[in-house]
Amino acid sequence: MTLSIIHDKILKVMPNEKEILIMGFIELFLIAVSLSMDAFAVAICKGLNMRKLNYKHTFIIATFFGGFQGLMPLIGWYLGNQFRQYITNFDHWIAFILLAFIGGQMILEALKKDNEKCDINDNLDIKELFILAIATSIDALAVGITFALIPNTNILTSILLIGIITFVLSVIGVFIGNKFGARFKSKAEFAGGFILILIGTKILFEHLGFINF
């Protein structure tokens, strides 16, 4: 009888806790997908210039992009924590501005590149890949700063999810580019930018009390 009462009490409490955890994971997942869109676009170009799908090269490309995409938010989170105490009163505005700016840049780049052809060399140059990995993960550095401004953000879970999703989508990008061409490249970047803007807006509205979920 006692165990039954305890079980009922747990069931009454758990839905709200699960809802909070699921909402947090969904937001993080969307951010991870959005951030990976630059790497996804470059991966499509790499796949497009492969005469035949090279699995070894695909794995190396995905590892570089996924690794740097996971590392950059960690660096940004560390930097953000250094001055978090000085910006507590307006941290939500900074998070919104950063995400909106990054999202806007992605949308503009997608519109500019709509008719642009992939011009990346088919040969797997590690130095070039290193530069591309940094270039496609700069946005993740800025998002890492926002993680430091958002309470209860699990940075380990965040960087692992971002890295893994970028790795997987990079593999998919190479495959799509090799099989179907670059038709999805700009659309992916546009969608990623739009999602980041929406998440930034949600963070701002939650802090201003316009929404509560």
pLDDT band at 184 (very low <50, low <70, confident <90, very high): low
- Cα-flanking dihedrals φ and ψ of residue 39, to 5°? -65, -40
Tell me the domain boundaries of the chain.
Answer: 21-208
Evaluate whether 137 touches 170 at the Cβ level (below 8 Å): no
| Residue 123 neighbours by CB under 8 Å, 6+ apart | none
- What pLDDT score does 70 carry? 94
Angle, helices 37-48 vs 55-83, to 10°: value is 160
Kindly report which listed range (62-66, 138-142, 178-182) carries the lowest average pLDDT score: 178-182
- The pLDDT > 90 percentage for the chain reads 17
Task: Say how many CA atoms lie within 13 Å of 53 toward its Cβ.
Answer: 16
| Residue 49 neighbours by CB under 8 Å, 6+ apart | 118, 120, 121, 122, 177
